Amino acid sequence: MAVQRRYKSLAAAGIATAMTLTLASCSGGPVGKDDVTLKLVAADYGDGAANSSKHYWHDVVEAFEAKHPHIKVDVDVYSWKDVDKEVEKRVKAGNAPDLAQIGAYADYAAEGKLYSADDLLSISTQADFTPGLAEAGEYHRVQYGMPFGASTRRLFYNKKLFAQAGIDSPPKTWSDIKQDAQLLKAAGVKIPFALPLGPEETQAETMIWMLSGGGGYTDSIGKYTIDSRQNIRTFKWVKDNLVAPGLTGTDPAKLNRQDGFNAFASGQAGMLNGHPTLMHQAKAKGIDYGTVALPGTTGPAKSTMGVADWMMGFKQHGHRAEMGQFLDFVYNEDNVLRFSGDYGLLPVTVSASQKMLADDKYKKLHSFLKQLPEAEFYPADKTSWPLVSKTIKAKMGGAVGKNGDPASVLTDIQNTADEADSATR
């Protein structure tokens, strides 16, 4: 269907071009183009001024404008803490940006505010997206979210601490995790297994454990399955085998993801689930680490968690053609590869992924990238997801605590999810 719509739009464009040329010949000269300025709000993937995303966008825009002098692009870069709120504020004020590169698209798609991907992109650009990422960007089977940055999750372990504890191989199963954590604790490691279920990114750690236990947030048709038998079993195991014996080193409900990363990078944590950004942080601190596929109940988990951030185009100002030209440029192979390499992320296109896999410079990213085609993503196509995610952040840390009851907490979250899902259909 997407291809058919694209051919129709190309045909219409051809008719419009013919009419323009006819008018131009009648008036004795070509019709000039009006200058257009596109507004883009983007997230900052850097951790300081030196590697801010502002530098990346400056170079991309400069190269694009040199080839398209009638199109200017103004980019405002905000921290991840502020960028979604900034776009929401502009949309509510009736002055949406032309383009936004943020964390979620479904609400805006549901409100009819976005162009679909095939309204904006050339066929070759849209077809180059990694299929699983393109599908994750669909709302009601139409792609509105264009993937921009992606990552998958693996288990990180500190090789030095493992050796000191007498552990000669990384864990492959939950039983291995428990045994290794016990040995690390006995060797004096402060945080044998870092379990970040604090308010920063609880929904991610929760999903990682759900997948490793054979569950997940939704089933194959998109229905929430938060209180499934598999998920209840998973978090009962986590509570009884990691938290209760003190193998997490600290209260999971109070540990944020970045605090867990900091503990690993400072040599205080033996293991944790992480994404590629942690590689840079650990390397900068001189940590000798390894990564393995997420351990599961009887062997490596069948799937891992994938995360994608999204580019979207708002209809309000009607700059569809100019937005499309800019996005086709943004998503060319070199730009996608440079962005991914600069920020330790995974390419969102097939062409850039193949180029990264062929280059040993990115060798440490290869294991993360090979997982991407089969990764599972947040149910970001559901407009109920923001509320469900907020509820998970508020409750899951306590579910595995001293007085926690995973079954009742998961059931409470399931009820919230079902109510929200019904209200937004």
Q: pLDDT tens digits for 92-127?
A: 999 999 999 999 999 999 999 999 999 999 999 999
Average pLDDT (313-331) is: 97
* Phi–psi pair at 310, nearest 5 degrees: -125, 140
Topology of domain 154-303+382-423, CATH? D-Maltodextrin-Binding Protein; domain 2 (3.40.190)
Confidence label for 203 from pLDDT (cuts 50, 70 and 90): very high
Contact of 100 with 77, CB cutoff 8 Å: no
* Phi–psi pair at 6, nearest 5 degrees: -65, -45
Residue 37, beta-bridge partner list: 72
The share of the chain scoring above pLDDT 70, in percent, equals 92
Q: Which of 307, 299, 269 is nearest to 132 (CA)?
A: 307
Tokens of 7: 């051919």
- pTM for this model (two decimals): 0.85
Q: CA dihedral defined by 220, 225, 228, 232, rounded to 10 degrees? A: 120
Average pLDDT (242-254) is: 97
Tell me, what's the pLDDT at 81?
A: 86
The pLDDT mean for the chain works out to 91
The domains of the chain are located at 1-32, 33-142+308-375, 154-303+382-423
Q: Which of 410, 342, 372, 356 is nearest to 44 (CA)?
A: 342
Average pLDDT (169-194) is: 98
pLDDT 10s digits, 16-65: 433 333 333 333 333 345 799 999 999 999 878 888 999 999 999 999 99
CATH number of 33-142+308-375: 3.40.190.10
For the stretch 121-158, what's the b/e string if a residue is b when 16 or more beta carbons lie within 10 angstroms of its beta carbon?
bbeebbebbbebbbebbbbeebbbbbbbbbbbbbbbbb
* Phi–psi pair at 348, nearest 5 degrees: -100, 0
Q: Which of 387, 412, 421 is nearest to 219 (CA)?
A: 421
Strand ranges across the sheet with 269-274? 191-193, 269-274, 154-158, 289-292
Q: How far, in Å, CA of 203 to CA of 214, rounded?
A: 17
Segment holding 278, helix H or strand E: helix 277-284
Spell out the SS3 assignment of 71-134: EEEEEEEECCCCHHHHHHHHHHCCCCCCEEEECCCHHHHHCCCECCHHHHCCHHHHHCECHHHH
pLDDT 10s digits, 69-100: 999 999 999 998 899 999 999 999 999 999 99
User: Angle of helix 202-212 relative to helix 229-238, nearest 10 degrees?
Assistant: 110
Tell me, what's the pLDDT at 425?
A: 62
Residue 218, beta-bridge partner list: 224
- Same-fold call for 33-142+308-375 versus 154-303+382-423: yes
Tell me, what's the pLDDT at 6?
A: 33
How many residues appear in the chain?
425
Q: How far, in Å, CA of 236 to CA of 150, rounded?
A: 30
How many CB atoms neighbour CB 217 within 10 A? 27
CA-angle at 27, arms to 15 and 22, nearest 5°: 20
Confidence label for 423 from pLDDT (cuts 50, 70 and 90): confident
Tell me, what's the pLDDT at 33?
A: 56
Average pLDDT (136-165) is: 96
Q: How far, in Å, CA of 223 to CA of 226, rounded?
A: 9
* Phi–psi pair at 331, nearest 5 degrees: -95, 15
Confidence label for 258 from pLDDT (cuts 50, 70 and 90): very high
CA dihedral over 13, 75, 340, 273, signed as positive or negative:
negative
- Greatest Cα-to-Cα distance within the chain, rounded to the nearest angstrom: 88
The share of the chain scoring above pLDDT 90, in percent, equals 85
Tell me, what's the pLDDT at 50?
A: 86
